[in-house]
Each structure stands twice: as structure tokens, then as C-alpha cells.
């Protein structure tokens, strides 16, 4: 076919570059349409919805093009008594969940870096928390941590320690030297779950980077008499900075936006309510679409501000280092 | 003992302690889940510390039978949910992978005006919060009567998985040596021929891993299933089925049996294709 068309009249033949461009658009169009219709358009529409009063029950009658816009939804969601607490919880959850998963992933990657018998089996097993369906692992944790019959509490009991309602207790007062420390119990449990579930992701990322490092640098440091911890601190870590910062960024964004984990573990009770759980509560629990939209816009804006701070800080650091 | 000797010994021991630690935190929950799924609830409540089932518990398969039995016969109707999950996950996998192959090839290899914008848009969307999309799609699908249909769910999963798939495949296609493709073009292959006979065969492992990831994302998904099809029991996917088992009226051993049923296909797939998946994950990074 194509060789025949090449013989046709000279003027009408598109150049190779033109044909390539045409094919490029042809191939990419279905994907672009899907992304535009199902992602870009909804996002824009969501902004609109957040300024309108829309309830689930009048979905069929409401005029979505109405320009009767107001800040009512924003006032409503920010005015809720626990709004600021929800925001604080989300930040703590996202930050500490991210740090814990990366720290565990780094530790796992260092352990598995050098070959040993059974390494590939260990590496495969370690991915289980990440690939298993969220619904299965959250319920599994709920049963393991259950205060009546969960295995963790059975062990605590056997060790003579008081049983703890890990996912249902808001806080725990700890007295040290006359100071009282309030530990958030349920939130900490959720963060530990986060570390457990997502460390395999960090692990794979970091392992790939560790294995791509030239061995010469470490060997040279070894010849110079650097110990294991010194080699890690002065040779390995500086090379990991780039991948660690990308990993932090990705995991933070995803944890910040995470809904299922907290919803399924605690339903947002006992001081674990994050913004996404609250959004779904506005949508399904209170059937208030406009307020849910407003809160989701707040979520996106907070995230954007945090990212802006991160990039500013990160690039300045880079500038100093270079 | 010098510091070096001390550290060598210390980290030598720590390494094995760590291996044991990581194996325990990943394998123990799995064993616990499988163990409880066979155990009769009365036995478990009598002694919660012994979670391993006896041989007769395993062979009776009572909990699994009850979970799979249709609702009319007093079961939980999981057979329908398994079927729904398969339909949704397989359809999403086929459509997403197909479209992603075409699109990713275009943005990785072909020069056309706007390709940078398209690439940027896809990357941005890749990082976008699902919850922000959930609300307008909920309204849109209610209006179009696409809510409460598996078709609607497939469309949403398409939007959720396409950016990831495009991103992963694009990075892979870029590693295929361009000289091979040019040789094909010079030898008279059309672009389509180059894609079919050179690029695709060389990328088969990457495509397989992307397809499996898409399957896993769709199979494991919970939020959109909850928002879109929860009102019609016959449309539930396995996620919603397992969620339903979490009630005071259902013994928790059934909940664990349901969890095992939803987890097993993912684990089997994973072990079949572990090598591709590990590499693919490290290369593209999968949203989760």
C-alpha cells in the first residue's frame, strides 16, 4: 500500500514528517479523548460544582450551568468544628506514613542488596503487602488488632501487658518524669499500616537504584578503611538523594489523597479522620455534592501549596549542594 | 576489636535479624488470614491464640462453601462477585493496554506538534487525586444512567489506569533501539509494520507487566465500586462483597475466606509473572 501511494502525483504526497505527525495524532487520540472527558473535564466541572448548592436528591432537576455561584459550600465545610483537626490528621498521616514506608523500604533494600540463598524468595514475599487487595489486608489487620480475639492482643496478654484497642482508642496518656505525653493510638496504628503496606514500593525503587550504583566507589572507600556505616553515610546516601526525594514526593502525594486505607481500617473514627474520608462522608453520608466538591478542591489546593513549598525548598538545597 | 571488625560483625548479625523480621511481617499475616479462613468461629473464640486449622477443618471447606453459595441458598453469593470482578478487570486490562500501546508509541517515538503537551498532561493526570474525580463522575454518571452498571465502572477504571499504563509503556518504548526501527523502515515496512513486527515483540515482557498491573488495579479497586455500584447487589465486585461480610451478623472466618478468595488470583498472577512485574514496577512506579 504505502509503496504504491509513494508513486502517485508529486504534489499530493505528504512528506514523511507530515505522515509521521498524522499517525502520531491518530494513535494518541483515543487516549487523549479519554483523559480529557474523564479526567480534565471532571476536574474543571468539580470546581464549578464546589460553588453551587447541589444535593443528591435533586440531581435530576438541578441546573448545572446555573451561574448562581456562592461560597456557601466552602463556608460549610470549613465551619465544621473538626475541620482543622481533619486537616492536621491528614498531614500527620501523609507525612509519617510516607517517612515510615520509605525508611522500611530503604532498610529492606539494604538487606537484600547483596545475594544470599533464598534472596529472590524473600524479595518476592516482601511484595505481598503492596499487591494484595486493600480490602483483604485492612480487614486482616482489623482482626489481628482486635482487642477481644486478635492475635496481637493475645500475645500482649500472654506477655502480661494490658490489651489495647489499637484501632478504636483515640489516645493514650503516658506519664514520664511527671510529664504527660498523649500518644494518638489509632492514628499511629494507621500510620504503621501505611508503612507496612507501602514499604515494598519504596523497596523496589531503592533496590533498583542501589544495584545501579557503580561498585568502584564503595570498594575505593573500603580500601581507604571506611567502615560499613561510614560507607553508607558518605558513599551510598549522597547517591540516593535524588531517588529519595522523588520517592518522597510520589508517596506523599498518594498518601495525602488516599481514601480506602483509613476508611476501611477505622472508618475515620478515633482521631483518624482524613480529608478524603470526610469528602466521601459529605457525598454519601450527607448526600451533599456541592460541599464534597468544595472539600475536594481544598484538598487539591493544600496539596499544590505543599508541593510548591517542597519544590522551592528542594531546588534551593540542590543549588547549595552543587 | 576495631570499629571495622565490630561493624562487620554487628551488621552481619543485623542483616539476618532483618531478613527474619521482613519475612515474618509479610508471611505471618498471610498465614493468619488463610488459617482463620478455615477455622470454625466457635473454635477460634474458645482459644484465639490457636489460629491454625485442623486437617478436618481444611478438608471440610465449610466457610468457602458458604461464601460461594448463592444468597437464595443461604450463602453469600460470591460466585456472582467473582464473575463481575473478572469481567471488569479483564475488560479494563484489554482496552487500557490496547490504547496505551498506541498512545505510548506515539509519544515515545513519533514527532508531532503537541506531543509534549500530551505527555505533560498524562504525567499530571497520573498524580491526580482519585477523590477529586469521583464527585463529578458520580454526578455525570447519575445523569447518564451509567451509575449502577458494570460498563460505567469499566469506563472509570479505564480513566484510572490509562495514564499509568501510558507512562510505563512510554518509558519502555524509549529503550527499544531506534536503529532497529529505522532498519525496518528502510527495508520497506510501514510504520504499522514496524510497530507490529519490531516494537511489540521486543516489548512483550513490558506489555505483559503493564497488562497485569492494570488487571490488579481494577481487581483491587474499592472507592469507585463503592460509589458507583453499591446499590445493586448483583453488580458488586469482590471488593464490595468482602466489605459486606464485615458485619456483626457474619462470622469473621467468612470474612477471611472472602479475603482469601479476592487475594489468591492476584498472588497467583504475581508469582507467574514476578520477574516482569518487579522490573516494571521499578521502572514506572505504580500508583497505590
Domains detected in chain A? 80-287 (1.10.3720.10)
Q: Tell me, yes or no, whether B237 and B106 share the same domain.
A: yes
Report whether B230 contacts A280 (CB < 8 A).
no
**B92, B208: one domain:** yes
Contacts A155 to B, Cβ<8 Å: 49
Q: Which of A32-41, A51-60, A105-114, A144-153 has the lowest mean pLDDT?
A: A51-60
Measured distance between the N- and C-terminal CA atoms of chain A, rounded to whole angstroms: 55
Q: Do B27 and A303 touch (CB under 8 A)?
A: no
pLDDT band of A11, cuts 50, 70, 90 = low
Statement: residue A3 has pLDDT above 60: no
Q: Which of residues 175 through 214 in chain A touch B, CB cutoff 8 A?
A: 196, 198, 201, 204-205, 207-208
- Cα separation, B8 vs B11, in Å, equals 6
> CA torsion angle for B102, B107, B111, B114 (degrees, to 10)?
110
Mean pLDDT of B232-259: 87
pLDDT band at B19 (very low <50, low <70, confident <90, very high): very high
Confidence of residue A268 (pLDDT cuts 50, 70, 90): confident
| A-B contacts at Cβ under 8 angstroms | 273
Count of CB atoms situated within 10 Å of the CB of A299? 22
Are A189 and A92 within 8 A, CB to CB?
no
The partner residue sitting opposite B155, judged by closest CB among A38, A155, A204, is A38
Tens digits of residue pLDDT in A31-40: 889 888 888 8
Q: Do the beta carbons of residue A139 and residue B33 sit within 8 Å? A: no
What is the largest distance, in Å, between two alpha-carbon atoms of chain A? 94
Residues B30 and B153 grouped into a single domain: no
Same domain for B28 and B97? no
Which 3 state secondary structure label does DSSP give A55?
A: strand
User: Residue A319: is its pLDDT beyond 60?
Assistant: no
Q: Looking at residue A137, what is its pLDDT?
A: 94
Does residue B267 fall inside a structural domain? yes
Q: Which residues pair with A174 in a beta bridge?
A: A181
Whether chain B has a CB inside 8 Å of the CB on A309: the answer is: no
- What is the C-alpha to C-alpha distance for residues A155 and A197, in angstroms, rounded to an integer? 22
User: Which residue from B124, B262, B75, B180 is spatially nearest to A140, judged by alpha carbons?
Assistant: B262
- Provide the pairing of β-strand A171-176 with A179-184: antiparallel
Q: How far apart are CA B153 and CA B133, in angstroms?
A: 13
Q: Residue A320 and residue A322: Cα distance in Å, rounded? A: 6
Per-position DSSP letters for A255-300, written without gaps between them: HHT--HHHHHHTTTTTTT--HHHHHHIIIIIS-BHHHHHHHHHHHH
What count of other Cβ atoms lies within 10 Å of the Cβ of residue A279?
A: 25
Domain containing B143 equals 83-284
Residue B99 and residue A34: Cβ atoms within 8 Å? yes
Instruction: Give me the number of domains chain B comprises.
Output: 2
- Chain B CB contacts of A250 under 8 Å are 127, 285
Q: How confident is the model at residue B287 (pLDDT cuts 50, 70, 90)?
A: very low
Q: Are residues B9 and B89 in the same domain?
A: no
Report yes or no on B261 lying in a domain.
Answer: yes
In a domain, B116, yes or no: yes
Contact between chains at A111 and B122 (C-beta distance less than 8 A): no
The answer to whether position B161 is within a domain reads: yes
* B12 inside domain: yes
Count of all residues that appear for chain B in the document? 288
**Predicted confidence band of residue A68 (pLDDT cuts 50, 70, 90):** confident
Residue B108 and residue B13 share a domain: no
List chain B residues with CB under 8 Å of A124.
270-271, 274, 278
Identify whether B159 is part of a domain: yes
B242 with B190, same domain: the answer is yes
Distant-in-sequence, close-in-space partners of B85: CB < 8 Å, separation ≥ 6: B219, B237, B238, B239, B262
B173 and B52 assigned to the same domain: no
Mean pLDDT of chain A: 86
Q: Is the pLDDT of residue B40 over 90?
A: no
The rounded distance, in Å, linking the Cα atoms of A164 and B187 is 72
List of residues 6+ apart from A100 with CB closer than 8 A: A191, A192, A194, A195, A199
Residues with Cβ within 8 Å of B259's Cβ and at least 6 positions away in sequence, in order, are A133, A135, A136, A139, A140, B33, B37, B242
Domain containing B250 — which CATH number?
1.10.3720.10
pLDDT at B18: 92
The per-residue pLDDT for range A168-213, each reduced to its tens digit, is 888 887 777 777 778 888 999 999 999 999 999 999 889 988 888 8
pLDDT at A270 over 50: yes
Under 8 Å between Cβ of B235 and B149: yes
pLDDT 10s digits, B76-118: 888 899 999 999 999 999 999 999 999 999 988 888 888 888 8
Does a structural domain hold residue B68? no
List CB contacts of B165: < 8 A, sequence separation 6 or more.
Answer: B96, B97, B99, B100, B104, B210, B213, B214
Task: Mark whether B26 and B140 lie in a shared domain.
Answer: no
Distance in angstroms (rounded) separating the CA atoms of residues A56 and B224: 17
CB atoms within 10 A of CB B195: 22
Tens digit of pLDDT for each residue in B254-283? 888 999 999 999 988 888 877 666 665 555
Give how far the C-alpha of residue A17 lies from the chain's centroid of Cα atoms, to the nearest Å: 41
Q: Do B34 and B167 fall into the same domain?
A: no
Q: Do B129 and B193 fall into the same domain?
A: yes
pLDDT of residue B1: 76
* Average pLDDT for B232-243: 90
CB contact at 8 A, A53 and A70: yes
* Residues B152, B135: Cα–Cα separation, whole Å: 14
CA distance A50 to A279: 12
| Integer Cα distance of A176 and A180 in angstroms | 6
Residue B67 placed within a domain: no
ipTM surpasses cut 0.95: no
Q: Do the beta carbons of residue A110 and residue A187 sit within 8 Å?
A: no
What's the start-to-end Cα distance of chain B, in Å? 47
- Kindly state whether A310 is in contact with chain B, defined as any CB-CB distance less than 8 angstroms: no
Percent of chain B whose predicted confidence (pLDDT) is above 70:
95
Q: Are residues B43 and B177 in the same domain?
A: no
Amino acid at each position: 500500500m504505502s509503496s504504491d501511494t509513494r508513486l502517485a502525483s508529486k504534489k499530493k504526497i505528504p512528506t514523511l514528517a507530515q505522515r509521521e505527525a498524522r499517525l502520531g495524532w491518530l494513535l494518541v487520540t483515543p487516549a487523549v479523548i479519554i483523559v480529557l472527558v474523564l479526567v480534565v473535564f471532571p476536574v474543571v466541572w468539580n470546581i464549578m460544582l464546589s460553588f453551587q448548592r447541589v444535593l443528591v436528591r435533586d440531581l435530576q432537576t438541578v441546573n448545572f450551568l446555573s451561574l448562581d455561584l456562592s461560597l456557601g459550600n466552602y463556608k460549610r465545610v470549613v465551619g465544621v468544628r473538626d475541620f482543622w483537626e481533619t486537616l492536621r490528621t491528614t498531614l500527620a498521616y501523609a507525612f509519617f506514613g510516607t517517612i515510615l514506608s520509605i525508611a522500611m523500604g530503604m532498610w529492606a533494600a539494604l538487606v537484600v542488596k547483596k545475594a544470599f540463598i533464598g534472596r529472590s524468595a524473600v524479595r518476592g514475599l516482601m511484595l505481598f503487602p503492596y499487591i494484595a487487595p486493600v480490602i483483604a489486608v485492612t480487614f486482616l489487620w482489623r482482626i489481628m488488632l482486635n482487642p477481644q480475639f486478635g492475635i496481637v492482643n493475645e500475645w500482649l496478654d500472654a506477655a502480661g501487658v494490658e490489651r489495647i484497642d489499637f484501632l478504636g482508642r483515640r489516645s493514650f496518656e503516658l506519664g514520664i518524669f511527671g510529664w504527660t505525653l498523649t500518644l494518638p493510638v489509632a492514628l499511629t496504628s494507621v500510620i504503621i499500616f501505611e508503612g507496612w503496606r507501602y514499604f515494598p514500593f519504596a523497596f523496589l525503587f531503592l533496590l533498583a537504584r542501589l544495584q545501579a550504583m557503580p561498585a568502584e566507589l564503595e570498594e575505593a572507600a573500603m580500601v581507604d578503611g571506611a567502615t560499613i556505616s561510614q560507607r553508607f553515610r558518605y558513599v551510598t546516601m549522597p547517591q540516593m538523594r535524588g531517588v529519595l526525594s522523588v520517592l518522597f514526593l510520589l508517596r506523599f502525594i498518594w498518601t495525602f489523597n488516599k481514601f480506602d486505607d483509613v476508611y476501611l481500617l477505622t472508618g475515620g473514627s478515633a482521631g483518624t479522620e482524613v480529608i478524603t474520608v470526610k469528602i466521601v462522608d459529605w457525598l454519601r453520608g450527607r448526600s451533599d455534592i456541592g460541599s464534597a466538591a468544595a472539600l475536594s478542591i481544598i484538598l487539591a489546593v493544600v496539596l499544590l501549596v505543599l508541593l510548591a513549598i517542597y519544590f522551592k525548598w528542594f531546588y534551593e538545597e540542590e543549588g547549595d549542594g552543587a | 576489636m576495631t570499629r571495622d571488625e565490630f561493624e562487620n560483625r554487628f551488621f552481619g548479625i543485623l542483616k539476618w535479624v532483618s531478613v527474619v523480621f521482613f519475612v515474618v511481617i509479610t508471611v505471618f499475616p498471610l498465614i493468619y488470614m488463610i488459617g482463620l479462613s478455615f477455622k470454625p468461629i466457635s473454635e477460634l473464640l474458645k482459644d484465639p491464640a490457636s489460629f491454625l486449622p485442623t486437617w478436618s477443618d481444611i478438608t471440610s471447606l465449610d466457610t468457602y462453601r458458604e461464601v460461594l453459595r448463592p444468597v437464595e441458598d443461604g450463602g453469600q453469593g460470591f460466585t456472582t462477585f467473582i464473575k463481575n470482578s473478572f469481567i471488569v478487570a479483564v475488560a479494563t486490562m484489554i482496552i487500557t493496554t490496547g490504547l496505551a500501546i498506541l498512545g505510548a508509541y506515539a509519544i515515545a517515538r513519533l514527532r508531532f506538534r503537541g506531543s509534549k503537551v500530551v505527555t505533560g498532561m498524562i504525567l499530571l493526570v497520573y498524580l491526580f487525586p482519585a477523590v477529586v474525580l469521583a464527585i463529578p463522575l458520580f454526578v455525570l454518571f447519575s445523569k447518564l444512567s451509567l451509575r449502577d452498571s458494570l460498563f460505567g465502572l469499566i469506563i472509570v477504571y479505564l480513566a484510572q489506569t490509562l495514564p499509568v499504563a501510558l507512562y510505563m509503556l512510554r518509558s519502555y518504548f524509549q529503550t527499544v533501539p531506534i536503529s532497529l526501527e529505522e532498519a525496518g523502515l528502510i527495508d520497506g515496512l510501514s510504520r504499522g509494520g514496524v510497530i507490529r513486527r519490531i516494537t511489540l515483540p521486543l516489548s512483550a515482557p513490558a506489555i505483559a507487566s503493564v497488562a497485569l498491573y492494570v488487571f490488579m488495579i481494577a481487581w483491587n479497586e474499592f472507592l469507585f465500586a463503592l460509589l458507583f455500584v453499591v446499590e445493586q447487589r448483583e453488580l458488586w465486585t469482590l471488593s464490595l462483597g468482602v466489605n459486606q461480610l464485615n458485619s456483626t451478623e457474619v462470622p469473621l472466618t467468612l470474612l477471611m475466606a472472602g479475603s482469601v478468595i479476592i487475594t489468591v488470583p492476584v498472588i497467583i498472577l504475581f508469582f507467574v509473572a514476578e520477574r516482569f512485574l518487579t522490573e516494571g514496577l521499578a521502572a514506572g512506579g505504580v500508583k497505590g
